[in-house]
Every structure is written in structure tokens, then in C-alpha cells.
Structure 1
């Protein structure tokens, strides 16, 4: 008992087990939960809109005249979010890096919460075009979520906790999706009808903003209640390089970033990952319905099952990562590439197998689908945290770059499927889709394994060359050597 009290007084137990940095992590978890809940809510609401209700009041007032959307109108409403989402990826990462993630995320989610509350009214006043415009604006407000989260993690996460903290943060996306799918049906059949899906989501957003405003901070150095011990622990362990002051940060080294093979391999693996992931999420329901006559969308449990498994496995992989870290002979590079291979090459194999499951064995197909989506959670400990490994100072900007490119691939994947699959009941055409996604999974991870790195790159914290040291024969650090090469060339 005395030992425990002493540990609390010195800050060691508090700092290393339940420190302020973990509070930031939990807040980011719910940030991602809300962000993804607001993406999924329209998909569920559209189903509820198509069902004529016997309820009176708000249901009849709002829904009347908005039932008979064409498939084209539905696709425009759903895709309008992503058109806005892509636009603010790179600016969002740059702003978070320069001015801090706290204010950017607070403003973005506040705006998105307001737009979520206005969604039913926009549909009543402006029809599907009005709702599409609101969804586009919501996408603009969310574009900075991933880059800003990465920027915040780069400041708060010690190197040995980086994988764990990023996994906890990003598993919020599955949690938000699961909760939305599980509860929206009940909300839609309550007295609020389908508008309640948007009202509940928007109200939760304002609750999160209050906690974020009170307890969050862009950096450990600016947090009001962090202990000296925890601050010292984070500063000494978060990066091999030097964290720059955001107010005095060197200009973003765009040329060095785009000529860096570790970054380019990261860019490619992010794009190929999103191609496979969104091919699954957008096309598998159609595949199951046409090949197995199994309507997976009709069951909230089956719709959320892959996400639930993904969330559970993400925490299992965190535990496994900690076990591997305790093996001193295994490097961080091995850790990243091992988990990325698990998250890409096992889905690659299960996708190919899915195309050969007999029509009468739909339950095996569901199991393979769940495995394919669920085990991709391993990538949270792979490429998805590698931006911070390469450059803690510019991690937000780099996440904006790769996520913007990856979301373009997310939009192209369904279009490619539309060109390949002419007859939805032709299993051979679907096999071509799966082989293409498997090929992308293979190539992306192969490049990451070969060219991926985990050491901080020299351009992360450039330092001016000390000419007196050079003349005196003092050896230069790698970043100074590269700086000297640049000066010499110029």
C-alpha cells in the first residue's frame, strides 16, 4: 500500500498507466465515433424514409414527398459527403500542424453537429439537392479529422505507445458505425421517426465538444493539468528527432517528402488499402444478394458484425503488439510490417476464397466476409501509424496527403466494379473484382515491406549547418549532412 502511494505521489503510476495522454486518446476515440456515425446515418435514414409510417406529427410533416428517391438521387446524396471530405484533407493537416489540432477539431465537429441537426430541414426545404448540399458541407468540416488526429498523436504519443494509442483512437470509427447501425432502427420507429437519427447524433456532438474544450490540448506542453513527470516522460520518449515549435516550424519540406521512398511506399499502401476496403464495404452486400440471395442489409446484426469483429481484433492486435515489443530482438520496423502484412495479405487470400464459395453455403461466405473486414484492423499498427514514425513534425500534413489520395481511390473502386460487373448474377465477373482487390492488397503491402521505414527522416527537423563545426572537422548529423548537400548543390 505504501509503495502504491509513493508511486502516485511521484507521478510514475499515474503518468505511465492512466496519464493525461490517455485522456486525449479517449476523447479522440469518441471524436472518430461521431465522425463515422454522421457518415453512416444517412444510409440508415434512407431505408427508414422508404418505409411508410403510421405515425403522425413530425414524421408525416417532414417525410411527405421525399419517399421516392431514385437510385441516382440516393447515390448523389451519399457521395456528396466525400466530395467535400477530399477537399479539406491537405489544408486540414497543414493547419493542424501549424496551429494545433484542438481548435481545428472543435470547430470542425461543432459545425458538423449543426449541419447534422439541419439535415431533416434541408431535405424538407430543398429536397434531395438541399440534403446533398448539407452533406457536402459536412464533408468539408470532417476533412481535417484524420490529419488532425495524427498531428495530435505525434505530440502526445511516446514511441512505444504509438501503435496502442492510434489503435484506440481509430477504433472509434468502428464503434460509431456499430452504435449507429444498432440504434438507428429503434430511433426511426420512435416518436421522432427518422429525423431523430440526425437529432440524436447532433446532440451527442455538442456533448463531446464540451468535454473536448475542457480536457483536450494540442500539445502536452500547453495542457493545464499535466504533471511534470508525465510531460518529461512524453518529451523524452515520443520521438528520436526534435519536435519543432509550431509557431517557429520550418517550412514544409514538400520536395523531400515527395522524393522519399518511405513516404511514397506509404502513399501507395494507403491507396491500395482503401481500394480493397471500400470495394468490400460498398459491393459485398450486392454480391451476397445476387449470388447467394442473402440480403445482408436487412439485418442490423449482420451489417454491424464485420465492424464489431474489426473493433475486437484491433484490441487483440494491440495486446499482441505489446508482446512482440517485449521481445528485444524484434524491431519496430518488423512490428509495423508484420501487422500490415496480416492486415493486407490475409484479406487478400480470403477475398480470393470468397469468390469460390458454393452458392448453397452462404454462411461460409458471411464468415469469410467478416474475417476479411475484421482482420484489416491490424493495419492500425502498420501503415496507418507510420506517418508519425517517419515525421512527427509533419505527420498531420502527410496524413492529409495520403488520405486525400486514398479517398480518391475509394471513389474509383465502386466505379471500376460497375464497369467489370455487367451481370450481377455472374460469379466470374465478381471473381475478377476480388482478384483485382487482392492484387492491390498484395502490391501495396509488398512495397511497404520493401521500402517502408520506421526511423525519423532527416527532413523532419532540419537544422542549419554550423560552418565553424565543419571547418573544425566535427562530424555532422544526418540532417545536417543532407542540408550541406543541398547547399553544395545550390
Structure 2
């Protein structure tokens, strides 16, 4: 019997079952594809806005918008203004209403807003576009807390980091597909509106599949085998009959916000997001303005780092699973090693990027690719740490962490808008890359010093503690009575 806190699983029969392909992997695949579509709808504007502001280089049949760099930064940040508002309550919603419903609403509504985007910008200009992206951000804001809650119910402990990384890798697939095809779509007869129509239609199709096959928990799933459900529930400690299971208990907010490992996780996620979204939202502009690439090659080059990022994520999943199952490294050491590789190596390549000349385009692309690719290794570090600290509150923790981190997603593009007043000025870009590198370095340093993968005491229901306290008081009172009796007898 292998034990992890209150969770356990057999190393024999059930472990063998855990290696087979089961219904939990279908859930993982559907979430992977849902993530891909959500991120495609999230990043399509990063390339489309280049065509919208310079349609002569893409498709002159569609209108061109003379927006300033600051206006462009406000547009790119508007999504995250809505995105962060629902992060914290989304974890509680997922626990109460189930992850299946929230993920369905997230993808379906995001798809509808994507389909409405071209009409919205034609009627109301940049202000209307900001409003629509804000609403799209609201519905996508529930995604990560919802997926964290789903994984806390579906992923056996021995498969936790691999399954969650596969789900999150859908984000890279969506980025790759959108950035790789958006240049061609913008230059085609369908123009830049097609970058919104295509993921919107696919998102509605995905919603249909998820409605049929998705489930919040193995216990609620009608298609899963009894053996697989038993293996998952035993691994997670959810194998009690329904009437014997613990009811949902209140979130221990005070203990959570005074927990050093959790606060360090928040800091680490914030610094990582600053670096990630600085690159994701600004790579198309950097390649277009500094390296002088047209929109077709811009889109292909912008997607290249995320192709390698996706490939590396999927290749490392078996290694991460093997390390967890073999227990060669304990979880804390494993998280810190992966996190250090994923956040400190990119610091060097990122800062070096700011010291290249405009004619060193090939080297710049190589450094960008290295920075983004290696950063994916951190998915096996801090990205899964909320499940380590408190599985019972995985969605709530992810909501808090992601809400805090996405404040950086708002600030980072705005900082670029104020610092980079001339997009062809490499010295101004150097400041941006140096800030991002310093953020990444300091975040991992904090995680190395204070981070842990141990389950925190506030993860458990407080009832056991309240029952133990009166018992301890009775024992102490009995001891005091005995001492007083002994003293009395001695005096006599």
C-alpha cells in the first residue's frame, strides 16, 4: 500500500489498471481539446489586430483601423479585465455545481462571442471590441478553477501531474494552430474575421461532444467501468458510499492566506504569467516591427515556439509519471527541479534577446523558441502545486492563484504600451525582456526557498479537530484531578 496523506492506492492490481487507457483519459482528451479552442479564441486577436491595423499587407477588402499602440494595449488587456473577476468564486461554483456544467458554459459562450467579434468591431470600433473581449474573458475565467476541480476528481494520484499537464498542453495546441493559420486566414479572401469564425464554430461543436461525454466525477459518469471508477476513487480516498462521504466544508480563508507555501505559489505564478503573456501578446508585434517579417511569416514564426513547447510537454509526461510512480524523487524535490529548469534557463535567453541587432533575425527566433519551449517544464512544477497543497480546495486555490497571476496579464501588455513607444526600437524592447527575465528569476527563487508539495493541514475538515479538543480537555482535567487527589493523600 502506497500512502500520500489520507489518500492511498494499492501498488498491485489497481496500479496495473491505472496504466490502461480508460474513460478518465477521454475526459482528459476532451479537456485538452477544450483548452485548445479556448486559447485559440484568446490569442487570435494578437495576430488579427496586426491585420486590422495594416490591412494593406493582408487583405485590403476589409476595413483598416488607425489605432495607437496604447489603444492596442488596452484592447489586448480588456480580455483579462473580465478574466480575473470570476477566478475566485469559480472554484466554489465548480465544487457546488460540478465542473461539467461550468466548462460547457465557458466554451459555448466564448464561441458565441468569437462569432460576434467582426460584427461588433465594425459597428462600435475599439470600444465595442474591448467590451466583447471583456465578456469573453468573464466566461473563460472559470476554466482553470473548473479544470482543477475536475482533475481533483478524475486524476489518480500516480497520474496527477501527467494528466494535468496533458490538459494544460491544449493551450499550446490552440496557440500553435491559431498563430500558424491566422496569417494565412488574414491574407485569404475571408480576411481577418475568419480568425474569429473558425474557432467559434469548432467551439460549438466541442460543446456538443462535452455535453454527451463529459462528467464532473467518476461517480456521476454513466459510461465508466466499475473497475476504473473504483481504482480512481480508492486512489483519491473517495471510495466511501455516498451517504458516508464528508459534506462540503467551508473554505478556510484565514489559514489559506497565512499559509507560506500557498503565498509562494501565488508569487511564482504571477511572475511566470508576466513572462508568458508578455511574449504571447507581443511576439507578433516584435517580429513584425523589429525583424521586419510580413504577416504570413510572422504568424508561422510566432507559432514556432509553441509547437516545440507542446511537443516537449507531451514528451515529458511519461517521465513525470515514471518519477511519481517509482518514487525516485519525493514530490517536493521533483516540483522544485522541474520549476528551476522551466524558469531559470529562459531567463538567460530572454535577456539575451534584448541585445540582438535587427539583422540577427534567425538568432532572435532561436532565442524566442528556446525561452518559450523550456518554460513548459515548469508545468510539472508550480502549475500542479495547488493539487499538492489542498486537493479538497484545488479549484478555489487555482482561482485565487490564477486571479492574482492574471493581474500580471493585464499589467504586462500595458507596460509594453507605455515603454515601447517606437515598436522598431530594439532598446525599448530590451527593457521589456529584462523586466520579464527578472520576474521569472525572482519567482523561482522564492519557490525554491519556501515551496513544498506536502498536503497542508487546512485541507482537512475542521470537525475532527473540534472533536479532538474536548477529548483532550477531558484527559487534561482527569490528570489534574488525579494530581490533586495524590497531593491530598500525601498531606493526609
CA contact (8 A) 2:185 2:194 kept: yes
1:466 aligned partner = 467
Q: Which of 7, 16, 21 matches 1:18?
A: 21
- Alignment correspondent of 1:38: 41
Instruction: Identify unmatched segments of 5+ residues in structure 2.
Output: 1-12, 477-492
Contact 2:233 2:239 in 1 (8 A): no
- Secondary structure in structure 2 of the residue aligned to 1:330: coil
* 2:74 aligned residue: 76
Distance 1:419 1:89 in 2: 27
What's the CA shift for 1:47?
3.5
Label 1:284 to 1:115 Cα distance change in 2 as closer, same or farther (>3 A).
Answer: closer
Structure 1 pair 223/456, CA: closer, same or farther in 2 (3 Å)?
same
- How far 1:213 sits from its partner (Å)? 0.7
How many residue pairs get aligned? The number is 459
Separation in structure 2 between the aligned mates of residue 447 and residue 189 of structure 1, nearest angstrom? 45
Secondary structure in 2 aligned to 1:365?
helix
> 1:308 matched to which residue of 2?
307
Q: Contact 1:155–1:392 (CA<8 Å) still a contact in 2?
A: no
Query: What is the CA-CA distance between 1:91 and the residue it aligns to?
Result: 1.8
1:324 Cα offset (Å): 3.0
Unaligned runs of 5+ in 1: 1-9, 475-490
CA distance in 2, matches of 1:334, 1:194: 47
User: Higher mean Cα deviation, 291-300 or 20-29?
Assistant: 291-300
Partner of 2:7: none
Residue 205 of structure 1 is matched in structure 2 by: 203
Judge which range, 122-131 or 364-373, deviates more. 122-131
- Residues 80 and 407 in structure 2, CA contact (< 8 A), matched pair in contact too: no
2: CA distance, partners of 1:262 / 1:375: 24
Q: Is residue 255 of structure 1 aligned with residue 254 of structure 2?
A: yes
Q: TM-score, normalised by structure 2?
A: 0.84
Native 8 Å contact 1:89 1:401 kept in 2? yes
CA change 1:379–1:11 in 2 (3 A) is closer
Partner of 1:223: 221
Q: What TM-score do you get using the length of structure 1 for normalisation?
A: 0.84
Separation of aligned partners in 1, 2:222 and 2:308: 37
Of 32-41 and 418-427, the range deviating more from structure 2: 418-427
Q: Is the contact between residue 187 and residue 197 of structure 1 (CA under 8 Å) also seen in structure 2?
A: yes
Which residue of 2 is the match for residue 124 of structure 1? 122
What CA distance in whole angstroms lies between the structure 2 residues aligned with 1:184 and 1:269? 32
Q: Greater Rg, structure 1 or structure 2?
A: 2
* Residues 423 and 114 of structure 1, relative CA distance in 2, 3 Å threshold: closer
**In the TM superposition, what is the alpha-carbon distance from 1:343 to its structure 2 partner?**
0.6
Counterpart of 1:484 in structure 2 is none
- Alignment partner, residue 452 of structure 2: 453
Rate the CA distance shift 1:287–1:167 in 2: closer, same or farther, 3 A.
same
Quote the offset at 1:277 in angstroms.
1.8
Q: Summarize the Cα distance change of 1:451–1:178 in structure 2 as closer, same or farther, 3 Å threshold.
A: same
Distance 1:135 1:301 in 2: 24
Q: CA deviation at 1:445?
A: 0.9
RMSD across aligned positions (CA): 3.2
Q: 1:52 & 1:294 partners in 2: Cα distance?
A: 14
CA offset digits 1:10-62 (Å, max 9, x no partner): 9987653211111111111011111111112223333444425999xxx96xx
Pairing of 1:218-297 with structure 2 (within 5 A): 218-238=216-236, 248-284=247-283
SS of 1:299's equivalent in the other structure is helix
| Kept in 1: contact 2:144–2:398 (CA 8 A) | yes
Q: 1:80: how far off?
A: 1.9
Asked if the contact 1:240/1:456 (under 8 Å) is kept, the reply is: no
Q: Indicate the SS of the match to 1:36.
A: helix
The answer to which of 211-220 and 455-464 deviates more is: 455-464
Match of 2:481 in 1: none
Q: Distance in 1 between matches of 2:409 and 2:76?
A: 13
CA–CA separation in structure 1 for the residues paired with 2:198 and 2:214: 23
Q: Conserved in 1, the CA contact under 8 Å of 2:51 and 2:186?
A: yes
State how far apart, in whole Å, the 2-side matches of 1:452 and 1:12 are.
Answer: 29
1:140-182 deviation line (CA, Å, top 9, x unaligned): 1111011111111111111111111111101111111111122
Contact 1:87 1:143 in 2 (8 A): yes
Shift in Å, 1:241 = 12
Q: CA deviation at 1:288?
A: 5.5
